[in-house]
Structure 1
């Protein structure tokens, strides 16, 4: 009997060995690819852009696709355009799967920059000027069926989402909850306040909301770090919340360095972020969520700014810069060591680098950095760094290239990004 069982086991193993093995698909489900916001992949990214596609979405008077793309594990790329129209495209062909115009508004001057998040056939979208059932309902958080684009639920309660506040923060998903921030503006477009939210992903109910920020969360992505959610605000404050209860665990005052419009990046017990006037900052975070030991790089220089979220590898930190001048734009990528010492810097890329870098480490001793530029003749650049020093570089400029605020998203061999004219680009070289 034992011999027979052994024989059957061996036969079963042979049969299983002959069956096709499924290849695990990669994804890019939120801003910078994950809840650490580090923008690093071990997969190879093209330098030839040999196979590529272009798809179109609607564009307004001065904006098109400014919120970054997310990609699910079924080769579908999702994007939100200037007025809240949501699109789903096939990652490998660029064919449109569906479009939801029902939640969009008709304001040609709209400007949506909250990056959505995907999880388990749901796409969660935050809009500054929501519209559902032809009713303008102000700031709204939506859950869409990712297969059909239909609305599953939405929350536009003015009690929790005042219409004079905008959802301008990337959304993060963790353990059935959504985390994101909002911001308000005065008549001079200065930030004046905002809220940070935890929302139930199953029904849209607000679990907790924090109102301690005096200037709100403008483009600043939270990071989920263990039991804590950490986020920077426009007043230059970094807060660590208990992600379940919303209680404030710890805070850091980085206001002397300026507004924080970058995401918080987590790596090996430290957080990294930029301050808009041109600083790279670093702080420790303990297993109990306590923030300490704030450090800053030297100033990036006169009239050199950054709203770019750093990309952090084991030994280096990469960040985009800009001079804030759209008439004569300059932008670079800086490389720092983990002690915030500047190692090297690219030459002027010809446009503002508002994008957050994405890095592939699958490059035989190099770290290849990808950024886009925000200028009239924008390009997607790749820069090869070896031990912190810039080596070779190259670029791609597809047709109708123009101002590009977002960086790339990447999954399964394809990079994807959109621009202000409403064009969405996908490319691979494999």
Structure 2
């Protein structure tokens, strides 16, 4: 969350593959069905070829009507046709748009690396207003009842009027550590309280109307990386949150007390599905856990890097490897079903269009992919 940052395990300058070599299929046979992963289209999201230092591209693609909106960490944010990848509009932004965005109706909200927070018309890319944070913005915003909340790269949490960009309140937190993992926690909201993690290892509950502290809980006390960059996930009265170099915690939302914890830190938030919790760890493992107590049901070890946040659809979990592939696993067993290699890894959590068996993500080389993925029979996708 700080300007002075490290990105261990997430970047590599080797393993580059050519743009055209990614247009490939992968299939896994299961009785009379085949799980197929096939590239539908791929587009470069940069205006010009990047010949300099490779930046971080980790914005989750946003599906808006017939558009897919994608920012990169280099030069801006663009909208493409979901059907064929045709460019619809491009908004140049100095140093790009790294975090994910949020939308209501036709209004898009995101923080950028040029020191501004943006409100943009999603259908056209026209800027409605900007708010100066004077620092990089690395976390996804939260929108609720006409207010947009977000954490800036300098550990300042803002509440802005979504219609005008006027500041309503802010909460600032000091961090004395020398280094920090690059990223930022998206806030979670329940019963009028916001829950957000900070780079000093704290989880803080704030009153959404005033910004006053309800409670704060020091979780990660490590001397190396104390960051709480994952998004808190609220389920009933419980919050699931991880520290990067630490543990996964289950915390009482009402009291700010730890209910249970398990070893193994995480950079991205957990994904809840039924009685299961899917956890992407910072040690390069995907775990399926019992939501009630954290008991491990199965685990999958990545070949390279660490996993992105996990998406679940039709009995399948999918995620990216920071230095490798897009991976598909059976939700109940953790068995590998399929994969594809885009080149230079994936830091973006995939976006799933479940109705059309389509998965979108941006690669480490700032290429936006549209992937068909699902069980097929006689070359047709089936439900």
Query: Of residues 36, 52, 55 in structure 1, which corresponds to 2:43?
Result: 55
Instruction: Select the structure that is richer in strand.
Output: 2
Query: Of residues 204, 208, 218 in structure 1, which corresponds to 2:169?
Result: 208
Query: Of residues 338, 344, 367 in structure 2, which corresponds to 1:395?
Result: 338
Query: Of residues 95, 112, 118 in structure 1, which corresponds to 2:86?
Result: 95
Query: Normalising by the residue count of structure 2, what TM-score does the alignment of the two structures yield?
Result: 0.79
CA gap of 1:306–1:255, structure 2 versus 1, over 3 A, is closer
Alignment correspondent of 2:231: 263
* CA deviation map 1:25-84 (0-9, x unaligned): xxxxxxxxxxxxxxxxxxxxx952346111111145212632222222x13111111135
DSSP-derived class of the 2:183 partner: coil
Answer whether contact 1:113 1:219 (CA < 8 A) is retained.
Answer: no
How is 1:99-110 mapped onto 2 (pairs within 5 angstroms)?
99-101=90-92, 104-105=93-94, 110=95
Alignment correspondent of 1:123: 108
Answer whether contact 1:182 1:218 (CA < 8 A) is retained.
Answer: no
Alignment correspondent of 2:317: 369
Deviation of residue 262 (structure 1)? 0.8
Alignment correspondent of 2:362: 418
* Cα distance in 2 between the residues matched to 1:47 and 1:281: 35
CA gap of 1:267–1:123, structure 2 versus 1, over 3 A, is same
RMSD, aligned CA: 2.2
* Cα distance in 2 between the residues matched to 1:166 and 1:294: 34
DSSP-derived class of the 2:330 partner: strand
* Cα distance in 2 between the residues matched to 1:313 and 1:269: 16
Which has the larger Rg?
A: 1
Q: Structure 1: which 5+ residue stretches go unaligned?
A: 1-45, 130-138, 185-193, 324-330
Query: Of residues 130, 146, 149 in structure 1, which corresponds to 2:122?
Result: 146
* CA deviation map 1:390-425 (0-9, x unaligned): 3x3123325x43221111012343211001211101
Answer whether contact 1:200 1:207 (CA < 8 A) is retained.
Answer: yes
DSSP-derived class of the 2:186 partner: coil
DSSP-derived class of the 1:260 partner: coil
DSSP-derived class of the 1:421 partner: coil
Deviation of residue 427 (structure 1)? 1.9
CA gap of 1:150–1:337, structure 2 versus 1, over 3 A, is same
Q: Structure 2: which 5+ residue stretches go unaligned?
A: 1-33, 374-380
* Cα distance in 1 between the residues matched to 2:83 and 2:247: 38
Answer whether contact 1:306 1:354 (CA < 8 A) is retained.
Answer: no
CA gap of 1:198–1:352, structure 2 versus 1, over 3 A, is same
Answer whether contact 2:329 2:337 (CA < 8 A) is retained.
Answer: yes
Answer whether contact 1:121 1:147 (CA < 8 A) is retained.
Answer: yes
Query: Of residues 58, 61, 67 in structure 2, which corresponds to 1:69?
Result: 61
Deviation of residue 294 (structure 1)? 4.4
DSSP-derived class of the 2:245 partner: coil
* Cα distance in 1 between the residues matched to 2:83 and 2:131: 33
State whether structure 2 residue 98 is matched by structure 1 residue 113: yes
* Cα distance in 2 between the residues matched to 1:51 and 1:307: 28
* Cα distance in 2 between the residues matched to 1:220 and 1:47: 34
Alignment correspondent of 1:218: 183
Query: Normalising by the residue count of structure 1, what TM-score does the alignment of the two structures yield?
Result: 0.71
Answer whether contact 1:333 1:345 (CA < 8 A) is retained.
Answer: yes
How is 1:31-430 mapped onto 2 (pairs within 5 angstroms)?
47-50=35-38, 52-58=40-46, 59=50, 61-63=53-55, 65-72=57-64, 74-101=65-92, 104-105=93-94, 110=95, 112-129=97-114, 139-156=115-132, 161=133, 163=134, 165-184=135-154, 194-214=155-175, 218-256=183-221, 258-286=226-254, 290-297=255-262, 299-300=263-264, 305-323=265-283, 331-338=284-291, 339-346=293-300, 348-360=301-313, 362-363=314-315, 368-375=316-323, 378-386=324-332, 389-390=333-334, 392-397=335-340, 400-411=342-353, 412-413=355-356, 414-429=358-373, 430=381
Deviation of residue 254 (structure 1)? 0.7
Answer whether contact 1:312 1:318 (CA < 8 A) is retained.
Answer: yes
